[in-house]
């Protein structure tokens, strides 16, 4: 603990004092004077404030005349409550025998700290944060001490000259939130996080081992745009940017996953683009599509990001006049046809246009290029099939004829053998 780091060390000192005073029978350091904390269900000792240790006192509950404990009890200035329950919470009054000195004690009951539940996450390759929640509610004032140290690998780190391994404080930022941040962590190092819950009744520590490359989860890509490509009714161009939290560096790249589906269809198609853009080539002509994208470390460290917000886009409807378009096209289509229409989810486009059929048939009367190509290739295929069939038929007929006319010959090559014989016969 460096004494120059005033804020945190002051907290630490205060807590140390608190911890020390917990071990003495009358904890006083938490909260205003006269406030005492006790463990529900256990024996609690109240101390009369302002009197010297051992001075005999009377004890009363505030507002009740009944004497709880007289000065002749062996406890002197202390009042012991066995198995304190919630009815014991409240204000107690103590008074010396001569009535000269008195004081009040307010008792609040709760539980000692339980080990907090801690998890850590990293949205970039240099910084990570840890968050925690109580393992059990103590209903007492609570603070958390957070620190981390670098774990050493025996044999590897031993040789390193003076590489410090901490512990260093993990600053809670902003203070009072259940979150602390480690800046400038080494990507391949292991760290041990210490989150210690402290309350007037004690402290409880949770240790968690963390390595940046295993918890890394980038933020989703930003600025996703989906645009039609004029003249291509089955294509959409999608582009996006690195998340702002991921500084673009040659050694730490992201890879991406892009998903798209027609708005009415539940199933996503997935592409794994290498760069910051992708062309979808099998969009359903005329239908609005939903597109989203997620990111992951290029070398597969950590996990995929969540999906970006979904963005809508409709493939180009070509140069078709807009009156012929079946049914209600999105209002954006009324603007210049060449202008790409990009709609966000909150945009004017409704998810299911009443006139749109659920099937994937295109709405425009123009036959798309891809379909023409498909028809042509189908035609060629069937022509080739016909030709092949005719050839097989001819061969078969020839075989049958050859078998009927000549003597039985072996196998398929029968009709060819006589030719062979004929050519050889003169040489014999």
Which residues here bind ligand NAG, judged by CB under 6 A?
124-127, 145, 147, 161-162, 183, 194, 196, 205, 207, 247
Q: Choose between 73 and 205: whose C-beta lies nearer to ligand NAG.
A: 205
Q: Choose between 183 and 398: whose C-beta lies nearer to ligand NAG.
A: 183
Q: Choose between 82 and 162: whose C-beta lies nearer to ligand NAG.
A: 162
Q: Choose between 14 and 326: whose C-beta lies nearer to ligand NAG.
A: 14
Handedness of CA 110, 113, 119, 123 (dihedral sign): positive
Which long-range contacts link 207-211 to residues 24+ away (Cβ below 8 Å)? 208/118, 208/119, 208/120, 208/130, 209/151, 210/120, 210/128, 210/130
Least separation in angstroms between CB 137 and ligand NAG:
21
Least separation in angstroms between CB 335 and ligand NAG:
40
In the sheet that holds 254-262, the strands lie side by side as 269-271, 254-262, 289-297, 311-313, 342-344
Residue for token digits 């050519």?
423
DSSP 279-290: EE--PPTTS-EE
Q: Choose between 166 and 414: whose C-beta lies nearer to ligand NAG.
A: 166
Least separation in angstroms between CB 343 and ligand NAG:
32
Instruction: List the one residue out of 167, 170, 182 whose CA is nearest residue 128.
Output: 182
Q: Are 275 and 299 in contact (CB under 8 A)?
A: no
How buried is 54 (Cβ within 10 angstroms: 0-12 exposed, 13-18 middle, 19+ buried)?
Answer: exposed
At residue 418, the 3 state secondary structure works out as: helix
Q: Choose between 216 and 226: whose C-beta lies nearer to ligand NAG.
A: 216
Distance, in Å, from the CA atom of 220 to the CA atom of 241, rounded to the nearest integer, reads 9
Q: Choose between 7 and 247: whose C-beta lies nearer to ligand NAG.
A: 247
Distance, in Å, from the CA atom of 105 to the CA atom of 27, rounded to the nearest integer, reads 11
Least separation in angstroms between CB 314 and ligand NAG:
36
131-167 residues labelled b (16+ CB within 10 A) or e (exposed): ebebeeebebebbbbbbbbbeeeeeeeeeeeeeeeee
Least separation in angstroms between CB 177 and ligand NAG:
16
Distance, in Å, from the CA atom of 421 to the CA atom of 266, rounded to the nearest integer, reads 69
Q: Are 363 and 356 in contact (CB under 8 A)?
A: yes
Distance, in Å, from the CA atom of 84 to the CA atom of 74, rounded to the nearest integer, reads 20
Q: Choose between 25 and 247: whose C-beta lies nearer to ligand NAG.
A: 247
Least separation in angstroms between CB 115 and ligand NAG:
11
Distance, in Å, from the CA atom of 285 to the CA atom of 87, rounded to the nearest integer, reads 73
Least separation in angstroms between CB 26 and ligand NAG:
23
402-418 residues labelled b (16+ CB within 10 A) or e (exposed): eeeeeeeeeeeebeeee
Q: Choose between 147 and 294: whose C-beta lies nearer to ligand NAG.
A: 147
Least separation in angstroms between CB 11 and ligand NAG:
10
Q: Choose between 129 and 337: whose C-beta lies nearer to ligand NAG.
A: 129
Least separation in angstroms between CB 204 and ligand NAG:
10
């Amino acid at each position: 603990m460096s004494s120059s780091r005033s804020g945190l060390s002051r907290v630490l000192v205060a807590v140390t004092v608190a911890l020390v005073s917990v071990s003495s029978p009358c904890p006083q350091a938490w909260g205003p004077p006269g406030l005492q904390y006790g463990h529900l269900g256990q024996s609690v000792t109240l101390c009369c404030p302002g009197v010297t240790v051992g001075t005999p006192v009377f004890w009363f509950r505030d507002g009740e005349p009944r004497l709880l404990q007289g000065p002749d009890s062996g406890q002197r200035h202390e009042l012991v409550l066995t198995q304190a329950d919630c009815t014991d919470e409240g204000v107690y009054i103590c008074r010396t025998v001569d009535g000269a000195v008195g004081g009040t004690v307010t008792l609040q009951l709760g539980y000692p700290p339980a080990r907090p539940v801690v998890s850590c996450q990293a949205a970039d390759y240099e910084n990570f944060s840890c968050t925690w929640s109580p393992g059990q509610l103590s209903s007492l004032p609570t603070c958390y001490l957070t620190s981390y140290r670098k774990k050493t690998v025996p044999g590897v780190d031993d040789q390193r000259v003076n590489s410090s391994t901490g512990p260093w404080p993990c600053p809670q930022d902003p203070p009072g939130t259940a979150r602390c941040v480690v800046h400038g962590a080494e990507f391949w190092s292991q760290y041990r996080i210490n989150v210690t819950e402290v309350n007037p009744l004690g402290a409880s520590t949770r240790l968690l081992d963390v390595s940046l490359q295993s918890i890394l989860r980038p933020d989703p890509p930003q600025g996703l745009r989906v645009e039609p490509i004029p003249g291509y009714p089955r294509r959409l161009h999608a582009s996006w940017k690195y998340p702002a939290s991921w500084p673009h560096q040659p050694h730490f790249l992201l890879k991406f996953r892009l998903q798209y589906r027609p708005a009415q269809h539940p199933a996503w198609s997935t592409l794994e683009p290498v760069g910051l853009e992708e062309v979808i080539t099998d969009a359903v002509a005329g239908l609005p599509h939903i597109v989203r994208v997620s990111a992951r470390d290029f070398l597969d460290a950590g996990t995929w990001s969540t999906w970006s917000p979904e963005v809508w886009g409709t493939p180009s409807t070509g140069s078709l006049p807009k009156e012929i378009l079946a049914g209600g096209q999105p209002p954006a289509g009324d603007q210049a046809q060449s202008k790409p229409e990009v709609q966000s989810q909150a945009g004017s486009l409704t998810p299911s246009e009443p006139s749109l059929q659920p099937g994937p048939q295109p709405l425009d009367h123009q036959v798309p290029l891809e379909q023409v190509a498909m028809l042509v290739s189908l035609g060629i295929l069937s022509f080739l099939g016909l030709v092949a069939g005719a050839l097989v038929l001819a061969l078969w007929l020839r075989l049958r004829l050859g078998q009927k006319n000549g003597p039985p010959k072996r196998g398929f090559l029968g009709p060819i053998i006589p030719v062979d014989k004929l050519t050889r016969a003169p040489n014999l």
